[in-house]
Amino acid sequence: MKKKNKKLIEYVFLLVIVLLIASFFVANREKPVAASFLEGPEDISRARIGVQLGTTSDLIASEEEKNGATVVRFSKTADAIQAMMKDQLDCVLVDSMTAGAFADANPGVSIMESNYPVEEMAIAISKNNPILKDKINRALALMREDGTYQSIRDNYFGEDKGLNPYVKQDVDRSNGTLIAVTNATFEPYEYIENGKIVGFDIDIAQAICDHMGYELEMNDIEFDAIITAVQSGKADIGIAGMTVTEDRLKNIDFTDVYAREGGLSILVRNGNNEGDMSFKDKLVQNFLEENRWSFLLNGLVTTIIIAIIASFIGIVLGSLIAFGRTTADMTGEYKIMNAILKCYLTIIRGTPAVIQLLIIYYVIFASSNVNKVLVAGIAFGLNSAAYVAEIMRSGIMSIDKGQFEAGRSLGFSYGKTLWYFILPQAIRNVLPALGNEFIVLIKETSISGYIGIMDLTRAGDFIRSRTYEAFIPLVAVAAIYLVIVIFLSKGVSMMEKKLKTSSH
Amino acid sequence: MENNAVIKIENLHKSFGENHVIKGITTEINKGEVVVILGPSGCGKSTFLRCMNMLEIPTDGKVFLNSTELTDPDCNIDKAREKMSMVFQHFNLFPHLTVLKNLTIGPEKLKKMPKEEAENKAKEMLKRMGLGDKYNHYPEELSGGQKQRVAIARALMMDPEIILFDEPTSALDPEMVGEVLELMKKLAKTGMTMACVTHEMGFAREVASRVIFLDNGVIAEDGTPDEIFSNPKNPRLRDFLSKIL
């Protein structure tokens, strides 16, 4: 057995090395791409434009779409920039304050002069919470009076950028906790540095809480989920450089404006490929700088926790459903229960897991403040249970009827017969299918990012959004999943062998 | 005599959908009797036997074990079945359990017998049956005859008042029939009450205290082996015997 494990580890290492070499070649094969054709802002109506979904840029680009432009919407601006560097887009529309940061990080990207109107940013808040809105507005007014606001502003946009960061005040926070959501991909408004959500908006939110005597809980979720989160009561406020628009006002309310910024900028490709890094530098940048490997590690732990919770729920609930279904089928009774179970299986197996996850988080757990990882575990568990149920049912059905009769004729009840005689044999028969279900499950958890969980996939996404490098983080994440699945399959086949020998 | 009946059957009917298999059987099986049930294939022998322990639920009529009515919907059938074991044509040993565990699981889980006591009892029983060295094996490692002997041992472990045999030798290779019949003969000598569906005429003649001939869902003839084999009255029975002997 030990020798075999050693062989497996060698095999996995070999695989990782092959992937690394492959990525080296792919990375070096990247061809230089010429500059964008745009000569001025008026050319944008002929261009392929990239924007972040749901942002002001999206609204403006949608107008250009009517003039003949092609608009591609991304969940991260960084993804749009990567697409532009691969000549899939001609330009990317972003708000001006973040444009500088993107251009600084990418020598191949320039800002094109343009004159989009000024944006007014406000904090999103539920329409049902006028008291909190009032409190925040008062805190904002107070911050402008006592100079807190100006000091935070100067720290991000003034001459002495970064020299005078806002420090969380030591105040009494007994008034409650303010749950805030943001989308930490707009530097310098909100972004992640050394594993923490930081930025202008975050400091503003902290200062508001300091003034109101509240604890601040900041969560990072997808931008287009912020309004839903606030509306459903999952969060008290959304602060993510949001401008007030008619559409948004239909669903939520806004506080007073806390910032006015110089509108949008057009980012274009300048044809400068000299800044390209060597493969080794890219590895250092993607994994070692700012300890980025730790995101992958934490993400991996989160993924595994979700998978364990989900498998447990899946096995227990799935087995119960299988019992219920086979009992109903065998006895011809419990018709109502059978119909309900069938309905459950049809719904779960007939709808995408992402939608189930979103419904469970935003609708079923809407008003309660349950840990997100637990919610994801429950959602994937409920999903997996449907598949486990059918696998187990087929296993139970595959056992000879004589086994059942033997158990019953000795005096074992229906349930005890299932437990002592049918189930152990059924599980042995369906173990490969069950193993396969858990392999599917662990990969399925990669959609946890939709409700803002930093799982393995999202950790890779996050590194991507910081380094503007698509290939290396994605391959790394893929390799980690692959290694988990290889070990899982190995475990399943070892268990199969063990169960087989126990019957010899 | 009335008090001696282990099993009492009153006007038993059983249908499978449109198919009326048992059409009114009334009889008793007394303590210590060895009753062999004969009949052409499809006459309902096995169904009749399986109605006795309610593996088939009768459509009409009553079945009693001692004074307990099994056909009563409130009857605890699991408790009643502990007193009436069954031996199947296809053995139906539990393939995921060792021979020993096949024997001990019933007394251990249902009668709460301590593990050690159950194991000692099982080993003692296996030794008597000439299977003393097999207790650690799995059923698939045994021959057909050995499997059926283990199945009989499993039935005996529950200390039943009656054992129902459903064609116990039909699935065996010819050379293995003898060892199983031999064991059943020994069992009959100990005074065990038995009801047996079989095609083994030799066994019926030699061991049975009573033979029931079923035809078309009813008892066509009921008597001692001598009456049945030497002096059959029913024409269908005569026809059956002429084909089989």
Distance between CA atoms of residues B104 and B68, nearest Å: 27
Of B81, B141, B158, the CB nearest to A408: B81
Point out the residue among B55, B96, B158 whose CB comes nearest to the CB of A408.
B55
pLDDT at A118: 76
Question: Which candidate from B82, B94, B154 shows the least CB-CB separation from A421?
Answer: B94
Cβ-Cβ contacts under 8 Å, B94 against chain A? 403, 406-407, 421, 425
Q: Which residue has the tokens 């991304």?
A: A74
Q: How far is it, in rounded angstroms, from Cα A7 to Cα A348?
A: 40
Q: CATH assignment of A31-116+267-273?
A: 3.40.190.10
Q: How far apart are CA B244 and CA B155, in angstroms?
A: 30
**Number of CB atoms found within 10 A of residue B231's CB:** 8
Of A402, A413, A504, the CB nearest to B78: A413
Query: Nearest by CB to B95, which of A410, A420, A503?
Result: A503
pLDDT tens series, chain A, 504 aa: 456 677 777 777 788 778 777 766 666 555 667 778 878 778 888 889 998 887 778 888 888 888 888 899 988 888 888 888 888 888 998 887 778 778 877 778 888 877 777 778 899 999 888 888 999 999 988 888 888 888 888 788 766 677 778 888 888 888 889 999 999 888 788 888 877 888 989 999 999 999 889 999 999 888 888 998 998 888 999 999 888 888 888 889 999 888 877 678 888 888 776 556 677 777 777 788 777 888 889 999 999 999 999 999 999 999 999 999 988 887 778 889 999 999 999 999 999 999 999 999 888 887 777 888 999 999 999 999 999 999 999 999 999 999 999 999 999 998 899 999 998 999 888 988 999 999 999 999 999 988 888 899 988 888 887 777 777 888 889 989 999 998 888 888 888 887 766 654
How far, rounded to the nearest angstrom, does the alpha carbon of residue B47 sit from its chain's CA centroid? Answer: 12
pLDDT tens digits, B101-142? 999 999 999 999 999 999 999 999 999 888 989 889 999 999
**Cβ–Cβ under 8 Å, residues A428 and A499:** yes
Instruction: Give dist(CA B65, CA B80) in Å, integer.
Output: 8
Say yes or no for a CB contact (<8 Å) between B79 and A409: no
- Closest C-alpha among B50, B29, B80, B63 to residue B194: B29
Which segments of chain B does DSSP mark as H helices, in order? 45-52, 77-81, 99-110, 115-128, 144-156, 174-189, 201-207, 225-230, 235-244
Q: Are A500 and B95 in contact (CB under 8 A)?
A: no
Q: Which residues contact A385 (CB under 8 A, 6 or more apart)?
A: A313, A314, A316, A317, A318, A321, A348
Is-contact A362 A228, C-beta < 8 A?
Answer: yes
Report CB contact under 8 Å: A410, B81. Answer: yes
Burial of A172 (0-12, 13-18, 19+ CB in 10 A): exposed
Q: What is the ipTM of this complex?
A: 0.92
For testing contact with chain A, the best of B52, B76, B88, B92 (most A CBs within 10 A): B92
The C-alpha atoms of residue A121 and residue A258 are separated, in whole angstroms, by 6
Contacts of B42 (CB under 8 A, 6+ apart): none
| Other beta carbons less than 10 A from residue B145's beta carbon | 20
Which structure tokens are listed for B63?
């079945």
User: Which position has the token pair 């309310």?
Assistant: A253
> For residue A410, which residues of chain B lie inside 8 Å, CB to CB?
81-82, 85, 106, 110, 154, 158
Which pLDDT score, from 0 to 100, does residue A502 have? 60
Pick from B208, B205, B93: nearest CA to B155: B93
* pTM attached to this predicted model: 0.69
* Whether B110 and A411 lie within 8 Å, measured CB to CB: yes
Q: What amino acid is encoded at A384 in this protein? A: S
* Gap from B71 CA to chain A (nearest CA, Å): 16
d(CA B150, CA B129): 9
pLDDT value for B210: 94
Residue type present at position B210: R
Q: Provide the CATH number for the domain formed by A295-503 in this structure.
A: 1.10.3720.10
Residues A123-256, CATH architecture: 3-Layer(aba) Sandwich (3.40)
Topology alike, domains A123-256 and A295-503: no
Helices (runs of H) and strands (runs of E) counted in chain A: 19, 12
Q: Could you say which of B55, B110, B154 has the minimum Cβ distance to residue A405?
A: B55
pLDDT the model gives residue A504: 45
Which pLDDT belongs to residue A32?
63
What is the rounded radius of gyration, in angstroms, for the C-alpha atoms of chain B?
Answer: 18
Contact B81 A504 (CB under 8 A): no
| Nearest chain A alpha carbon to B52 | A409
Instruction: Quote the tokens at residue B139.
Output: 């059923």
What distance in Å separates the CA atoms of residue A278 and residue A259, rounded to the nearest whole number?
40
> So what's the pLDDT on residue B3?
59
- Tell which residue, A260, A241, A256, has the closest CA to residue A142: A256
**Which DSSP string corresponds to B101-116?**
HHHHHHHHHHS---HH
User: Do residues B118 and B68 make contact, with C-beta atoms less than 8 angstroms apart?
Assistant: no
- pLDDT for position A2: 57
pLDDT digits (tens, 9 = 90+) for B32-67: 999 999 988 888 899 999 999 999 999 999 999 988
Contact status of A409 with chain B (Cβ, < 8 Å)? yes
Higher model confidence: residue A10 or residue B19? B19
Structural domain spans, chain A: 31-116+267-273, 123-256, 295-503
Phi/psi of residue A291, nearest 5 degrees: 50, 45
CB pairs under 8 A between A and B: 63
Task: Mutate one of A409, A416, A425 to test the B interface: name it (highest B CB count within 10 A).
Answer: A409
Closest chain B residue by Cα to residue A425 = B96
Please say whether the beta carbons of A374 and A313 come within 8 A. no
Chain B residues in contact with A408 (beta carbon < 8 A): 55, 78, 81
The pLDDT confidence band at residue B1, using thresholds 50, 70 and 90, is: very low
What is the distance in angstroms between the Cα of A326 and the nearest Cα belonging to chain B?
18
Which residues from chain B sit within 8 angstroms of residue A503, using beta carbons?
Answer: 95-96, 138, 140
Q: Which residues of A touch B80 (CB under 8 A)?
A: 411
> Do residue A410 and residue B90 have CB atoms under 8 angstroms apart?
no
DSSP state of A349: H
Out of A420, A502, A504, closest to residue B105 by CB: A420
Which residues does B contribute to its contact with A (CB < 8 Å)?
53, 55, 78-82, 85-86, 88, 90, 92-96, 105-106, 109-110, 138, 140-141, 154, 158
Distance from CA of B95 to the nearest CA of A (A): 7
Give the residue from B58, B72, B53, B70 showing the smallest Cα distance to B20.
Answer: B58
